[in-house]
Amino acid sequence: MIAEKRPELGARWLGRVGYEDALVLQQRLREGVSSHLLLLEHPHVYTMGVRTDPAHLLVDPATVNATVCWTDRGGDITYHGPGQLVGYPIIDVPVGPDSTPRYVHTLEASLIALLASYRIEAYTLDDFPGVWVGPRDAPRKIAAIGVKLSRGRSMHGFALNVHTDLSMFSNIVPCGIADKAVTSMEAEGIHASVAEVARSYAKHFASGFGFDQLDYQGVDDASQIAVSTSREKSEDAVASRLNQRLAKAGFSFDTAVPYVSRKPEWVRSEVNLGVEYRSLKHLVRDLNLVTVCEEAGCPNIYECWKDGTATFMINGERCTRACGFCLVDTSKPLPLDPSEPKRVAEAVAALNLSFAVVTAVARDDLEDGGSEAFAATIHEIRELNPSCSVEVLIPDFKGDQVSLERVLQARPDVLNHNLETVLRLHRAVRPSANYVRSLTVLARAKEFGLTTKSGLIVGMGESIPELKSVMRDIRSVGVDILTVGQYLRPTRDHLPVSRYYHPDEFAALREYAMSIGFRYVEASPLARSSYHARQGSDAAAGAMA
DSSP string for residues in 462-507: --HHHHHHHHHHHHHTT--EEEEEE----STTSPPP--PPPHHHHH
**What are the respective helix, strand and coil percentages of the chain, to the nearest 5?**
35, 20, 45
Catalytic residue among 175, 249, 378, 392: 175
The secondary element (H helix, E strand) that includes residue 416 is strand 414-416
3-state secondary structure of 425: coil
Structure confidence at residue 222 (pLDDT) = 72
> What confidence score (pLDDT) does residue 299 get?
59
Q: Which residues are annotated as a binding site for substrate?
A: 73-80, 144-146, 157-159
**What is the DSSP track for 112-155?**
HHHHHHTT--EEEETTEEEEEES-TTS-EEEEEEEEEEETTEEE
pLDDT at 309: 56
Could you tell me the domains of the chain?
Answer: 6-215 (3.30.930.10), 265-544 (3.20.20.70)
For residue 134, the cross-strand partners are: none
Q: Which residues are annotated as a binding site for [4Fe-4S] cluster?
A: 293, 298, 304, 319, 323, 326, 530
Rounded CA-CA distance 168/163 in Å is: 12
Q: Which of 484, 482, 480 is nearest to 545 (CA)?
A: 480
Do residues 480 and 491 make contact, with C-beta atoms less than 8 angstroms apart?
no
Distance CA 359, CA 394 (A): 6
Our answer to whether residue 175 is catalytic in this structure is yes
Count of other CB atoms within 10 angstroms of residue 192: 14
* pLDDT string in tens for the chain (545-residue length): 444 556 899 999 999 999 999 999 999 999 999 999 999 999 999 999 888 999 999 999 999 999 999 998 888 899 999 999 999 999 999 888 899 999 999 999 999 999 999 999 999 999 888 999 999 999 999 999 999 999 899 999 999 999 999 999 999 998 778 888 999 999 999 999 999 999 999 999 999 999 999 999 999 877 655 444 444 344 444 447 788 888 888 888 888 898 888 888 887 655 455 555 566 555 556 555 555 444 445 555 545 544 545 678 888 777 777 777 677 767 778 888 898 899 888 888 887 778 888 988 878 889 999 999 999 999 999 999 898 889 999 999 999 999 999 999 999 999 999 999 999 999 988 888 899 999 999 999 999 999 999 999 999 999 999 999 999 999 999 999 999 999 988 888 888 999 999 999 999 999 999 999 999 999 999 887 777 777 878 888 776 65
CB 22 within 8 A of CB 88: yes
Kind of pairing between the strands at 122-125 and 128-133: antiparallel
The number of angstroms, rounded, from the C-alpha of 517 to the middle of its chain's C-alpha atoms is 19
Q: Which of 418, 230, 432, 406 minimizes the C-alpha distance to 321?
A: 432
Q: Are 481 and 244 in contact (CB under 8 A)?
A: no
Kindly provide the residue ranges of all beta strands, DSSP E only, lying in 49-90, ordered along the sequence.
67-70, 78-80, 84-90
pLDDT of residue 448: 95
The model's pTM: 0.89
Q: How far apart are CA 155 and CA 166, in angstroms?
A: 25
Annotated binding site: 73-80, 144-146, 157-159, 293, 298, 304, 319, 323, 326, 530
Q: What is the pLDDT of residue 233?
A: 42
Sign for the CA dihedral angle at 462, 464, 470, 471 comes to positive
Do residues 123 and 132 lie in contact, with contact meaning Cβ atoms separated by under 8 Å?
Answer: yes
